[in-house]
Amino acid sequence: MLPLGILAVRKFLCFLLWSTIVFVTLVILFYVEEDLRGARAWAKEKSALEAVGETLDASRFVPPPIPDAQNFGSLPFSTDDQFLSLIIRPLIRWPCARHSIAS
């Protein structure tokens, strides 16, 4: 026969295990219900918008690509190491930061 202290610890651990299982199950059920509810609401709104004549195609809202002649991001100084040495390094005053930026 086990001592009373060990039985109490075993009973507490069993309670803790079942409580954790119940809590995790409730959380999972909550998220599943919210996903189903959200999917139903999205389908309802999507059909209502399409009935009015709206389109939900994301490519319609994306602008066309910018030509390289007009694109500031494709200029060579932004990809060159001189950009790091002329612009970024003077802004950083910490001695240890010199080693973290590409030399």
Q: What is the pLDDT of residue 95?
A: 57
Residue 82 has pLDDT above 80, yes or no: no
What would the two tokens of residue 24 be? 């995790």
Whether the Cβ atoms of residue 83 and residue 77 lie closer than 8 Å to each other: yes
pLDDT band at 17 (very low <50, low <70, confident <90, very high): very high
pLDDT band at 94 (very low <50, low <70, confident <90, very high): low
Q: What is the pLDDT of residue 72?
A: 73
pTM listed for this prediction: 0.51
Whether the Cβ atoms of residue 88 and residue 101 lie closer than 8 Å to each other: yes
